[in-house]
Amino acid sequence: MKKDPINVFGDWALNGRDERMAQGHASSVKAMLELATKDLKDFTFLDTGCGNGWVVRKLVNYPECQYAAGVDGSEHMIAKAKSIDESGNYFCEDIRQWEPSMTFDLVHSMEVFYYLEKPDKLIQNVFDFWLNPGGKLIMGIDFYYENTTCHSWQEDCGVNIMHLFPKKTWINFFKKAGFKNVSSHHFGAKENWKGTLVLMGKK
Ligand SMILES: C[S@@+](CC[C@H](N)C(=O)[O-])C[C@H]1O[C@@H](n2cnc3c(N)ncnc32)[C@H](O)[C@@H]1O
């Protein structure tokens, strides 16, 4: 029987697969952060679905980053983040309902949004309630319709919800939420792999 994403990834935190996942995502996240931060000064940062918190710990070393936090629904992922970085800002919350107590200049997310029943609702909430005026959302996903190599992943991972939307659907979610300057990118493309689909928009 398939399980919900928070439980599946909680198991990964317990068996160490979270670290391999972070390594697999590292080169796309590096390119995403370069793109999103190149014109930012003194910014606040949130990683949405932060897993074991590895991206938050990267941001803490950026001189321009004033505050970095991560949120994840898995208590095992957040416990792991805190065990590595006791004083870090990690929140164990379900992002479908979470109302952060502050707003951010940059909201980042890698391989998370397609696990939600209504990703467009979260994108709207990020626009309306999570971002400062002029703030940016950058999202990377490897699971999308045009990337045919990924089509078996839902069966492979045993996750009960994974939306296999085409790129244009994600672009429409950003535009409908009100994001301006919406751009799309493919990072790490190679043979039989379309690369990480990255979307960025500005409030
Ligand atoms: C594929 S993992 C990616 C983790 C991290 N971004 C990384 O690159 O290593 C997806 C993460 O999203 C989290 N997640 C899924 N649904 C969630 C929800 N509704 N609320 C909060 N976190 C959620 C999972 O717990 C998991 O840690």
Task: Name, in order, each residue with C-beta under 8 angstroms of 15's C-beta and a sequence gap of 6 or more.
Answer: none
Protein residue closest via CA to atom 27 of ligand 1: 51
Q: Tell how far the Cα of 130 is from the centroid of ligand 1, in angstroms.
A: 17
Of the chain, the end-to-end C-alpha distance in Å amounts to 40
Return the percentage of the chain with pLDDT > 70, whole number: 100
pLDDT classification of 1: cutoffs 50, 70, 90: confident
Show the ligand 1 pocket: residues with CB < 6 angstroms. Answer: 5-6, 9, 21-22, 25, 49-51, 72-74, 77, 94-96, 110-112, 115-116
Q: Where are the domains of the chain?
A: 5-202
Residue 179 phi, psi dihedral angles, 5° rounding: -65, 140
Is the pLDDT at 43 greater than 90? The verdict is: yes
Q: Which CATH superfamily is domain 5-202 in?
A: Vaccinia Virus protein VP39 (3.40.50.150)
The reported pTM is: 0.98
Q: What is the pLDDT of residues 129-144, one digit of tens each?
A: 999 999 999 999 999 9
